[in-house]
Amino acid sequence: MDIRIVETAIEDETVFVMFRCEGGDGRAAWKGSDAVSAGEIHDVELDFEEPMHHAEGALTSANAGRCELAARVEAITSNGLVVLRIGEGLAFAEVDDSVSPLEIDTAVVVRDVPLSAWPTCD
């Protein structure tokens, strides 16, 4: 998934990137070995750092992050992993949907979930 870096920040020796992508925007811990700068575009895999809960069309987590990403449920694996399409990219998520079950092709918003961004070419 391509993201455009809007801003970078360092907190407790962790580099964070604020980004925009086709599905929305967010803040992610940068997991690349190279430095990044505002304005750059990177192909990354987004990693949701903790399981999410589904309720009323939104996927959220217990510990707030900063993101708002429009997604569509692409698939649900046999072990319960949810495949989300965010723009042209795919991301995998652990989702507790016991309260509000997810179905394939459901539109959801991933909101306030801690993220990591792993560059595909580093």
pTM: 0.89
Residue 15 · residue 28 · CB < 8 Å: no
Residue 90 · residue 83 · CB < 8 Å: yes
Question: What are the boundaries of each domain within the chain?
Answer: 2-113
pLDDT digits (tens, 9 = 90+) for 29-85: 999 998 899 999 999 999 999 899 888 889 998 877 889 999 999 999 888 889 999
Residue 110's pLDDT is 94
Distance CA 62, CA 20 (A): 23
Kind and range of the H or E element at 45? strand 41-48
